[in-house]
Amino acid sequence: MKAYRTTIAAVAALGLALAAAGCGDDGDSGDGKKITIGIKFDQPGIGLKTPSGSYTGFDVDVATYIANELGHKSGDIVWKEAKSADRETLLQRGDVDFIAASYSITPTRSEKVDFAGPYLLAHQDVLIRADDNSITKPEDLNSKKLCSVTGSTSAQNVKTRIAPDAQLQEYGGYSECLTGLENNAVDALTTDDSILAGYAAQSQFEGKFKLAGFKMSNENYGIGVPKGSELKAKINAALQKMVADGTWNQYVQKNFGPANYKNEPAPQIGVIVS
């Protein structure tokens, strides 16, 4: 019996050791183990989960580069959907290691999470039909049918501050707005220019739309990390390297180029453009 109890104890000890080793698989130690990253699943050009189950977009490319710099192989990345309303909660609960999801740095958000970056300076803009020459300045949106997604603040900002006579049309998703724009049901679609460029760059829409280039706001996209996380400094170093070695420019052209997106130069780390 003594030998039997000894064997049981040894097996139990081995099991505990294996369990302890397994607990680190989703950590951020940078040694090639699993890392969980939050991205958008429904924004072409930014973060999109394709029907085949793969992931594409600027944020996906940036996040993959960062993960590789942290020591994780691409196959070790676990992608998790980070809807706009859920991003702070995902970080605070530890559901993700970091988030790259068209995540604008704001004072309110910075009270809850930390941000590395910024890594892209976007602007609120409008997308119009390629042959439309009637909208050349923001004020021209007065009396036009302006489309945005239900619950979005973008269209309200335009209607409140710039074009109070715009006819706001709220649809369930950006794809519906694009269909309406293509079919002349609406005259313009508004949100961040990077998001608009991503949609316009889709093969079925290529050449049909153009960005107006109004730059109605500054949106500093950052990488969200849990408050006080050591990852912030490591991610900033990765972003600086990505810009320096030319990869950042490659990602911009790859994901936004077909829409003729006139992007801002890569922003300086820690410099927020107000």
Per-residue pLDDT of the chain (274 residues; tens, 9 = 90+): 434 333 334 434 434 333 333 333 334 444 559 999 999 999 999 999 999 999 999 999 999 999 999 999 999 999 999 999 899 999 999 999 999 999 999 999 999 999 999 999 999 999 999 999 999 999 999 999 999 887 677 888 888 899 999 999 988 888 899 999 999 999 999 999 999 999 989 888 888 999 999 999 999 999 999 999 999 999 999 999 999 999 999 999 999 988 878 899 999 999 999 9
> Which amino acid is present at 59?
D
Kindly state whether residues 39 and 117 are assigned to the same domain: yes
Output the pLDDT for position 31.
Answer: 57
Q: How far apart are alpha carbons 96 and 178 in whole angstroms?
A: 32
Output the pLDDT for position 58.
Answer: 98
Among 211, 233, 251, give the residue marking a domain's end: 211
Q: How far apart are alpha carbons 56 and 251 in whole angstroms?
A: 11
CATH of the domain at 193: 3.40.190.10
On whether residue 201 sits in a domain, the answer given is: yes
DSSP E strands: which ranges in 123-252?
124-129, 145-149, 167-171, 188-192, 209-211, 219-225
On whether residue 239 sits in a domain, the answer given is: yes
Q: CA 57, 84, 139 angle in degrees (round to 5)? A: 85
On whether residue 13 sits in a domain, the answer given is: no
Q: In what order do the strands lie in the sheet with 188-192?
A: 167-171, 145-149, 188-192, 124-129, 209-211
On whether residue 199 sits in a domain, the answer given is: yes
Output the pLDDT for position 32.
Answer: 53
Kindly state whether residues 157 and 48 are assigned to the same domain: no
Q: How far apart are alpha carbons 216 and 169 in whole angstroms?
A: 19
Domain containing 97 equals 28-122+219-259
Q: Is 118 in contact with 221 (CB distance < 8 Å)?
A: yes
Q: Give the number of domains in the chain.
A: 2
On whether residue 10 sits in a domain, the answer given is: no
Output the pLDDT for position 262.
Answer: 87
Class of residue 70 by CB neighbours under 10 A (exposed 0-12, middle 13-18, buried 19+): buried
